[in-house]
Chain A
Amino acid sequence: MKKKQLASLLLSTAMAASLLCACGAPAETTTTGETAGTEGSGETITLHMWGGVPAESGPQAACDAFNEAYKDKGIQVEYERFVNDDTGNVKLETNLMGGSEIDLYMTYTMAQLTKRAEGNMALDLTELCERDGFVLTDYLGELANSYNINGKPYSLPCKLDQYGMVLNKDMFDAAGIEIPTEWTYDEFLDICKQLTHGEGADKVYGVYWNSQQDMMQYAQYLISQTLGGDNMYTADGTATNFTDPVWEETISLISTTMNEGYAPTHADSVTEKLSQESMFLGGKTAMTIGPWMVRNIKDTATYPHDFVTAFAPYPVIEEGQRNYTQGGYGDFLCINPRSEHIDAAWEFAKWYLTEGGIYLAAGGRVPAANTYDLEAVTAEFLSGAEDLFDAESLQRVLIEPHDNYAAPSITTKSNELSDIANQQLEAIYTNQVSVADSLAKAKADGDAALAG
């Protein structure tokens, strides 16, 4: 009886296996046949680009402009949005590993870019650059080299990320405070204090840190100005740097604003799921940590407000500690090595870097390449909302390029280290432990993770 059962099980397995093989073979031949057909007949190639920005915030306009310019050259592009969070990126990566559906896509962090370059999910652009005499540093300066992986370019960085504190100019004016162009943590704290007023539902805070979304990243905006892009690591990259005085001062500053009531606490931020948009545009805070909600400032239908938004560089601990400018390149445009239309994708990528960026400026993304006119970018950035921005500070803080960006070069286990530190920051912000002890714990855990 046992033998028979075994025999029939084996038999059925064999049958299943043979059926699978039979399925596999013809499917492959069909695919190759189709490809040959489209390429051979010289039909229009339609590229598929995936990005995390909603189509209506710029990408669609850029793609439309490209399609118009290239309709006679046989290249068209379609944009599809993926949500740029853990789940969305997993979806993108499985798609990339699975096949050729995506031709081009956007990568948003260095850690992801490294993973994708090393995992054969992004094409090494060296050959294409050499073939066309397309020198990246001509367009992006020496900083372009910071975004090479193992010495090679795997992407075209399309966006200049240069952030600063976002300020409600009306509140500053009312309190008689100048829009700061240079300030220390003490001055910042003092301004937070002056601008905080009211009680209960009417309370207006000095600053909102948006900690429910991320704690590490936002603290690092401040820290990177003194310590640079690799602020999580010691100089040789073998240990973590969380006990550096700059970390301690910065976390203490954030913690103090929360504990003294100048900023919503982390617990409030989490339990109310407070957003930057609702806090800042709703007039409940005088400052907020980052300008990526610029596209919402323009959206007065959803966020009705009439105050003027201004910008200031992030504060530093003391004068003379501004070694770097927070910022660097972002929006890394990659080509899928499995794409069937690599040449067409490369054409689009070059266009997107040097000409397409202007269409994204209206959505608050500053183009990285030097092929754009600064005034034009500022105008595009402000378009339709000239009354709602302080153009001078906007151009100075967000648009004018610098030559000392805090670009990251080490990404070893960066997600893990962020989570480890995040856990300690959460403990500090909810007022459970001392800053020094918690950061020491973060360093110990982080070093163990790096060693392991």
Chain B
Amino acid sequence: MTVAKGKQRTGGWFSNLKPQTRDNIVGYTFLLPNLIGCMLFTFLPVVFSLLISFTDWDYTKGFGNWNFVGVQNYLDMWQDEWFVDSLINTLVYTIAVVPITIFLALVISVLIDKYCFAKLPIRLAMLMPYISNVVAVAIVWVMMYSSFGPVTLLVKALGVENPPQWLADYTWAMPAVILMSIWSNVGYSALIYTSSIQGLPQDVYEAADIDGAGELTKFFRLTVPFLSPTTFFLVITNVITSFQIFAPIQIMTRGGPGTSTYVLVYYIYRSAFGYYKMGYASSMAWILFILIFIVTMIQWRQQKRIHDY
């Protein structure tokens, strides 16, 4: 404001502008640092990746050293077994992780809220996997899944004679990664639910008590609907992060055995930095973006249809 006033007094090009324009200039000047950051590190790379997704760029050949190949990359990927497997695995992973995580988080947060002593330490403990370094978590889980690890010993104790070698097994590697992801994500979702639960209107519950509603009825008829905006938020964020899973795969399985845990982001990474196919990797990244975009749009629509909060 002081800047604007000072300029006004001296008179000049700035004070001759319309007040609305002046306000805009001042406003955007304040936004400028952020805008520059956004332009440089988000907008430009996005445009650039779209551009190179239509080329055969090998990034070691230097900037500008590329041929335009049209939509060839976008057509090729559907013939590429590794891409298709990665896509399927990513979908399987997301479909398994998101609902289970959210359901567990909801149940756990309600239970802790109602029936638990020492709520704070328990909530903190549940959040630990989420705030711990993902690399450390993944390595600990590699140990857990080893032949002498607790998971294998537990399964043996339950009477299975030859438990699978989880991370080296074509069938079990993916479930093993999924289990780890659920474990490490559930704390965060539970935390978000907990804060919503604490804000729920108590009078409605009292009314339900007077009407003689049981605990289960209250849970399904009151708590779940009341929490649906939170659920919606968690579904969207969890779906997006699930589509982008990378670090646990890189550390625990490197996509193996075979292609059984290859996921999209891991394959994009291998294509770009292992095979130097930057153009192809970019086109896959765009497919991933479109996929996330569509899923999110569908969720928005569903959300609007069910509730209008």
Given contacts A271-B147, A423-B258, contact A430 B39 (CB under 8 A): no
Contacts of B274 in A (CB 8 A): 86, 415-416, 419
Q: Quick check: is B259 within 8 A (CB to CB) of the other chain?
A: yes
The residue that B60 contacts in the complex, of A116, A267, A413, with Cβ under 8 A, is: A116
Q: Please, which residue of chain B has its CB at the minimum distance from the CB of A94?
A: B59
Those of A57-106 within 8 Å (CB) of chain B:
86, 90, 93, 97
Which of A14-22, A176-184, A249-257, A347-355 forms contacts with chain B?
A14-22
Cα–Cα, bound, A118→B76 (Å): 26
Cα–Cα, bound, A273→B144 (Å): 12
Are A272's CB and B146's CB within 8 A? Answer: yes
Are A273's CB and B142's CB within 8 A? Answer: yes
Return B297 CB to nearest CB of chain A, in Å. 24
Contacts of B170 in A (CB 8 A): 430, 432
Are B62's CB and A270's CB within 8 A? Answer: no
Are A121's CB and B165's CB within 8 A? Answer: no
Contacts of B28 in A (CB 8 A): 8, 11-12, 15
Contacts of B29 in A (CB 8 A): 15
Given contacts A97-B62, A115-B60, A119-B61, contact A12 B273 (CB under 8 A): no
Q: Please, which residue of chain A has its CB at the minimum distance from the CB of B28?
A: A12
Given contacts A90-B273, A270-B168, A427-B257, contact A11 B146 (CB under 8 A): no
Q: Quick check: is B24 within 8 A (CB to CB) of the other chain?
A: yes
Are B165's CB and A416's CB within 8 A? Answer: no
Return A7 CB to nearest CB of chain B, in Å. 8
Those of A126-140 within 8 Å (CB) of chain B:
none
The residue that B165 contacts in the complex, of A93, A116, A271, A432, with Cβ under 8 A, is: A271
Q: Please, which residue of chain A has its CB at the minimum distance from the CB of B164?
A: A267
Are A86's CB and B146's CB within 8 A? Answer: no
Return B17 CB to nearest CB of chain A, in Å. 11
Contacts of B257 in A (CB 8 A): 270, 426-427, 430
Are B142's CB and A12's CB within 8 A? Answer: no
Which of B30-38, B88-96, B109-117, B224-232 forms contacts with chain A?
B30-38
Fill in one digit per residue for B43-76: 1 if any A CB lies within 8 Å of its CB, else 0. Answer: 0000000000000001111100000000000001
Return B140 CB to nearest CB of chain A, in Å. 12
Return B38 CB to nearest CB of chain A, in Å. 9
Are B147's CB and A270's CB within 8 A? Answer: no
Are A271's CB and B146's CB within 8 A? Answer: yes
Contacts of A11 in B (CB 8 A): 24-25, 28
Cα–Cα, bound, A272→B167 (Å): 10
Are B168's CB and A271's CB within 8 A? Answer: yes
Those of A1-44 within 8 Å (CB) of chain B:
4, 8, 11-13, 15-16, 19-20
Cα–Cα, bound, A273→B276 (Å): 28
Cα–Cα, bound, A90→B275 (Å): 12
Q: Quick check: is A268 within 8 A (CB to CB) of the other chain?
A: yes
Q: Please, which residue of chain A has its CB at the minimum distance from the CB of B273?
A: A90
Binding site secondary structure of chain A = helix
Cα–Cα, bound, A4→B60 (Å): 44
Are A118's CB and B32's CB within 8 A? Answer: no
Given contacts A116-B60, A423-B258, contact A430 B168 (CB under 8 A): yes
Cα–Cα, bound, A201→B31 (Å): 65
Are A268's CB and B147's CB within 8 A? Answer: yes
Are B36's CB and A19's CB within 8 A? Answer: yes
Contacts of A432 in B (CB 8 A): 170
Given contacts A270-B256, A423-B259, contact A120 B32 (CB under 8 A): no
Are A271's CB and B36's CB within 8 A? Answer: no
Contacts of A419 in B (CB 8 A): 270, 274
Q: Quick check: is A320 within 8 A (CB to CB) of the other chain?
A: no
Return B157 CB to nearest CB of chain A, in Å. 18
Are B39's CB and A426's CB within 8 A? Answer: no
Q: Quick check: is B20 within 8 A (CB to CB) of the other chain?
A: yes
Q: Quick check: is A284 within 8 A (CB to CB) of the other chain?
A: no
Return B88 CB to nearest CB of chain A, in Å. 16
Cα–Cα, bound, A120→B58 (Å): 13
Contacts of B243 in A (CB 8 A): none
A-B contact pairs, 11 of them (CB 8 A): A4-B24, A16-B32, A16-B36, A266-B168, A271-B142, A271-B166, A273-B142, A415-B274, A416-B274, A427-B258, A445-B81
Give me 16 other A-B pairs in contact (C-beta within 8 A), A270-B165, A419-B274, A432-B170 excluded. A12-B28, A12-B35, A15-B32, A19-B32, A19-B36, A86-B274, A115-B60, A119-B61, A268-B147, A270-B168, A271-B142, A271-B146, A426-B257, A426-B258, A430-B170, A430-B257
A-B complex: 3 closest residue pairs judged by Cβ atoms: A119-B60, A267-B168, A12-B28
